[in-house]
Amino acid sequence: MNFIEASPGALNPQPLIGNSMNADLLNKAELSLFQKLKNAPEDTTLLVNYAEICRCCGYLEKASETYRRLAQLEPDHPTALYFAALFENSEPPVLSPEIQPKPVPFVIIPDFLQPEEHQRLLDFTLDHERLYVKAKTGINAPSYNPALRNNLYGSKTPTEIKKQFRSLISGVLPDLLRKLRIPPFEVDKISVMLTATLGGQYYRNHIDKKNSQPPHRVLNCVYYYHKEPKAFSGGDLLMHDTNLKDLQTPGNRFTRLSPQNNCMAVFPADYYHEISEVVGDPDDFSSARFAVVCHVIEKK
């Protein structure tokens, strides 16, 4: 795979419906600001607010366009330059450490698997529902915490699937690190986990990296797949702006990515994120939002 580029599909999710966190409020805010901007198209405060709402809604093309307009009006606006580059899939400028919380940098890799590989993985998943069990949280002493995490993971991941994802991720790792502005590091291993999120399930706001404790996760790589036609909505990835100085998040500023079939989303592990509730059949495993969750772990 030679190209890392934004998927047009991933940048144009369906309009938000009432299943996602504060979806109604976000939709109303987007509409209201859009109307106000018609009358004041060069109002930079309105532009900032509109771009922020658009990325919370997952309307990344609109957000990108708005940040570009803002950057034309204020050529030194750091966040506008940052997002304009990020959403165009070019390398974003480095934000000053004083700008906190930091918006999450990310990369989308469309068509991550070949069509026959994607189909094989889907077939394997649908044939192995029995492997999927309720997911736990915590690294050293995992426990059930359904208020935080309510979805399923594969209790066993076949070696071929692990090898396949480790090989593909290793192949694009230098490009990913350059794009995300992460210095090269020695990889200890790449963990690979199968997950399924059915109707009513979710994974609330959390972070995959804790202080200096092992495992030293550096990158989160999430590959999405599902059967067609898509039998669920929601299940969006909300990447929360995070204060990297104290690893806190305000929880109300984020970039939303809608799960696109056969796409991988990659972002640094030291940012908060969540899976919004899936709307679908809670009893039909085949209709789930499936994902392969991988972590690139540094050797220390």
Determine the residue type at 38: K
CB atoms within 10 A of CB 179: 20
- 274 lines the binding site for Fe ion (CB under 5 A): no
Does residue number 208 form part of the binding site for Fe ion (CB under 5 A)? Answer: yes
How near is the Cβ of 89 to Fe ion at its closest, in Å?
23
- Closer CB to Fe ion, 79 or 197, in the complex: 197
**Can residue 236 be called a binding residue for Fe ion (CB under 5 A)?**
no
Minimum CB distance to Fe ion, residue 234 (Å): 17
Q: Which is nearer to Fe ion, 208 or 241 (CB)?
A: 208
Region from 125-133, 175-183, 208-216, 243-251 binding Fe ion, contact rule CB under 5 A: 208-216
Q: Binding string to Fe ion for residues 168 to 207, with x set by CB under 5 A, is what?
A: ----------------------------------------
**Nearest residue (CB) to Fe ion, 82 versus 202:** 202
In the complex, what is the shortest distance from the CB of residue 240 to Fe ion, in angstroms, rounded to a whole number?
Answer: 11
Contacts to Fe ion from residues 24-83, by CB under 5 A:
none
Measure the CA–CA gap between 47 and 52, rounded to whole angstroms.
9
Nearer to Fe ion among residue 21 and residue 81 (C-beta):
21
Q: How far is the CB of 45 from Fe ion (least distance, A)?
A: 34
Q: Which C-beta is closer to Fe ion: that of 53 or that of 152?
A: 152
Burial (0-12, 13-18, 19+ Cβ within 10 Å), 97: exposed
- Give the residue with the Cβ less far from Fe ion, 19 or 151: 151
Task: Kindly state the number of chain residues that form the binding site for Fe ion, as judged by CB under 5 A.
Answer: 1
Closest approach of Fe ion to the CB of residue 221, in Å: 11
Nearest distance in Å: CB 118, Fe ion: 23
Question: Which CB, 208 or 277, lies closer to Fe ion?
Answer: 208
Rule CB under 5 A: which residues touch Fe ion? Answer: 208
